Structure 1
Amino acid sequence: MLFNSIQFALFLPVVFILYWFLARNSYRQQNILLLAASYFFYSCWDWRFLFLLLFSTLLDYAAGLQIAATDNHKLKKTWLWLSIGINLGFLGVFKYYNFFAQSFTQLLNGFGLEAHATTLGIILPVGISFYTFHGLSYIIDVYKDRIKPECNFIDYSLFVSFFPLLVAGPIERATHLLPQLKQKRTFNLDQAKDGLRQILWGLFKKVVIADMCAEYANLIFDHYDDYSGSSLFLGMLFFTFQIYGDFSGYTDIALGTARLFGIDLLRNFAYPYFSRDIAEFWRRWHISLSSWFRDYVYIPLGGSRVGTLKKVRNIFVIFLLSGFWHGAKFTFIVWGLLHALYFLPLLLTNNNRKNLDIVAAGRLLPSVKELVGMLTTFMLVGFAWIFFRAESMAHAYGYVGRMLSKSLFTAPDIPTKKIAVLTLVLTGIFFFVEWLGRENQYAIQKMGQTWKRPVRWALYYAIIIAICLFAGKDEQFIYFQF
Structure 2
Amino acid sequence: MLFNSTDFAIFLPVVFILYWFVTHKNLTIQNLLLVVASYVFYGLWDWRFLSLILFSTLIDFFVGISLSKEEDKNKRKLLLWTSILVNLGFLGFFKYYNFFVDNFITAFSLFGTTFNAASLNIILPVGISFYTFQTLSYTIDVYRKNLTPTKDFISFAAFVSFFPQLVAGPIERATNLLPQFYKKRHFDYEKAIDGSRQILWGLFKKIVIADNCAIYANDIFNNYETYSGSTLLLGAFFFTFQIYGDFSGYSDIAIGTSRLFGFTLKKNFAFPYFSRNIAEFWRRWHISLSTWFRDYVYIPLGGSRGGAWSKVRNTFVIFLVSGFWHGANWTFIVWGFINACYFLPLLLLKRNRKHTDVIAENRVFPNIKEILQIATTFFLTVITWVFFRAKNIKEAIFYLEGIFSESLFTIPTIITAILLLKIGIIIIFVIIEWLQRNKEHALEFSVSSKHRIWRWCLFFMVIYAIIVFGAKPQEFIYFQF
Please, what TM-score do these two structures have when normalized by structure 2?
0.99
> 1:278 maps to which residue?
278
> 1:131 maps to which residue?
131
Query: Whole-Å Cα distance in 2 between the matches of residues 137 and 85 of structure 1?
Result: 14
> 1:481 maps to which residue?
480
Query: Whole-Å Cα distance in 2 between the matches of residues 454 and 323 of structure 1?
Result: 45
Query: Whole-Å Cα distance in 2 between the matches of residues 365 and 169 of structure 1?
Result: 32
Query: Displacement of 1:403 after TM fit?
Result: 1.1
> 1:355 maps to which residue?
355
Instruction: Please give the per-residue CA displacement for 1:313-355, whole angstroms capped at 9, x wherever unaligned.
Output: 0000000000000000000000000000000110110000000
Question: Is the 8 Å Cα contact of residues 339 and 384 (structure 1) preserved in structure 2?
Answer: yes
Instruction: Please give the per-residue CA displacement for 1:354-384, whole angstroms capped at 9, x wherever unaligned.
Output: 0000000110011111111111000000100
Q: What is the SS of the residue equivalent to 2:55? A: helix
1:421 aligns with 2:428: no
Query: Whole-Å Cα distance in 2 between the matches of residues 287 and 40 of structure 1?
Result: 28
Query: Whole-Å Cα distance in 1 between the matches of residues 425 and 39 of structure 2?
Result: 37
Identical positions, percent: 58
One-letter amino acid matched to 2:47: W
Query: Whole-Å Cα distance in 2 between the matches of residues 365 and 5 of structure 1?
Result: 38
Query: Displacement of 1:86 after TM fit?
Result: 1.0
User: Cα 1:448–1:264, aligned 2, differ >3 Å: closer, same or farther?
Assistant: closer
Query: Displacement of 1:237 after TM fit?
Result: 0.2
Q: What is the SS of the residue equivalent to 1:299? A: helix
> 2:231 maps to which residue?
231
> 2:107 maps to which residue?
107
Which stretch of the first structure deviates more once superposed, 24-33 or 430-439?
24-33
Which stretch of the first structure deviates more once superposed, 22-31 or 245-254?
22-31
Question: Is the 8 Å Cα contact of residues 171 and 288 (structure 1) preserved in structure 2?
Answer: yes
> 1:241 maps to which residue?
241
Question: Is the 8 Å Cα contact of residues 5 and 474 (structure 1) preserved in structure 2?
Answer: yes
One-letter amino acid matched to 2:460: Y
Structure 1: runs of 5 or more not aligned: none
> 1:289 maps to which residue?
289
Q: What is the SS of the residue equivalent to 1:151? A: coil
CA RMSD of aligned residues (A): 1.1
- Matches of residues 142-161 of structure 1 in structure 2 within 5 Å? 142-161=142-161
Query: Whole-Å Cα distance in 1 between the matches of residues 295 and 394 of structure 2?
Result: 35
- Matches of residues 12-91 of structure 1 in structure 2 within 5 Å? 12-91=12-91
Question: Is the 8 Å Cα contact of residues 23 and 30 (structure 1) preserved in structure 2?
Answer: yes
> 2:391 maps to which residue?
391
Query: Displacement of 1:473 after TM fit?
Result: 2.1
1:213 aligns with 2:201: no
- Matches of residues 458-477 of structure 1 in structure 2 within 5 Å? 458-477=457-476
Query: Displacement of 1:118 after TM fit?
Result: 2.0
Query: Displacement of 1:425 after TM fit?
Result: 0.6
Query: Whole-Å Cα distance in 2 between the matches of residues 454 and 351 of structure 1?
Result: 43
Query: Displacement of 1:419 after TM fit?
Result: 1.7
Query: Displacement of 1:123 after TM fit?
Result: 0.3
One-letter amino acid matched to 2:236: M
Question: Is the 8 Å Cα contact of residues 449 and 456 (structure 1) preserved in structure 2?
Answer: no
One-letter amino acid matched to 1:352: N
Query: Displacement of 1:458 after TM fit?
Result: 2.1
User: Cα 1:77–1:468, aligned 2, differ >3 Å: closer, same or farther?
Assistant: same
Query: Displacement of 1:449 after TM fit?
Result: 5.1
Instruction: Please give the per-residue CA displacement for 1:34-55, whole angstroms capped at 9, x wherever unaligned.
Output: 1110010000010000011100
Query: Whole-Å Cα distance in 2 between the matches of residues 117 and 150 of structure 1?
Result: 44
Query: Whole-Å Cα distance in 1 between the matches of residues 183 and 196 of structure 2?
Result: 23
Question: Is the 8 Å Cα contact of residues 201 and 249 (structure 1) preserved in structure 2?
Answer: yes
One-letter amino acid matched to 2:431: F
One-letter amino acid matched to 2:293: F
Structure 2: runs of 5 or more not aligned: none
- Matches of residues 296-307 of structure 1 in structure 2 within 5 Å? 296-307=296-307
Query: Whole-Å Cα distance in 2 between the matches of residues 471 and 449 of structure 1?
Result: 32
> 1:338 maps to which residue?
338
Query: Displacement of 1:406 after TM fit?
Result: 0.6
Query: Whole-Å Cα distance in 2 between the matches of residues 240 and 371 of structure 1?
Result: 18
> 2:325 maps to which residue?
325
Question: Is the 8 Å Cα contact of residues 387 and 393 (structure 1) preserved in structure 2?
Answer: yes
Which stretch of the first structure deviates more once superposed, 283-292 or 178-187?
178-187
Question: Is the 8 Å Cα contact of residues 276 and 370 (structure 1) preserved in structure 2?
Answer: yes
Query: Displacement of 1:26 after TM fit?
Result: 2.5
Query: Whole-Å Cα distance in 2 between the matches of residues 471 and 279 of structure 1?
Result: 35
Query: Displacement of 1:282 after TM fit?
Result: 0.4
Which stretch of the first structure deviates more once superposed, 59-68 or 416-425?
416-425
One-letter amino acid matched to 2:280: E
Question: Is the 8 Å Cα contact of residues 335 and 387 (structure 1) preserved in structure 2?
Answer: yes
Question: Is the 8 Å Cα contact of residues 230 and 412 (structure 1) preserved in structure 2?
Answer: yes
Query: Displacement of 1:117 after TM fit?
Result: 3.4
One-letter amino acid matched to 2:386: I
> 1:433 maps to which residue?
432
One-letter amino acid matched to 1:177: L
> 2:4 maps to which residue?
4
Query: Displacement of 1:24 after TM fit?
Result: 1.4
Instruction: Please give the per-residue CA displacement for 1:226-283, whole angstroms capped at 9, x wherever unaligned.
Output: 1000000000000001000000000000000000000001110000000000000000
One-letter amino acid matched to 1:296: Y
Counting matched residue pairs gives 481
One-letter amino acid matched to 1:477: F
One-letter amino acid matched to 1:255: I
Query: Displacement of 1:306 after TM fit?
Result: 1.2
One-letter amino acid matched to 1:465: Y
Query: Whole-Å Cα distance in 2 between the matches of residues 133 and 143 of structure 1?
Result: 15
Query: Displacement of 1:292 after TM fit?
Result: 0.2
Question: Is the 8 Å Cα contact of residues 191 and 260 (structure 1) preserved in structure 2?
Answer: yes
Q: What is the SS of the residue equivalent to 2:301? A: coil
Please, what TM-score do these two structures have when normalized by structure 1?
0.98
> 2:403 maps to which residue?
403
> 1:251 maps to which residue?
251
Query: Displacement of 1:21 after TM fit?
Result: 0.2
Query: Displacement of 1:453 after TM fit?
Result: 4.0
Question: Is the 8 Å Cα contact of residues 437 and 443 (structure 1) preserved in structure 2?
Answer: yes
Q: What is the SS of the residue equivalent to 1:476? A: coil
Q: What is the SS of the residue equivalent to 2:46? A: helix
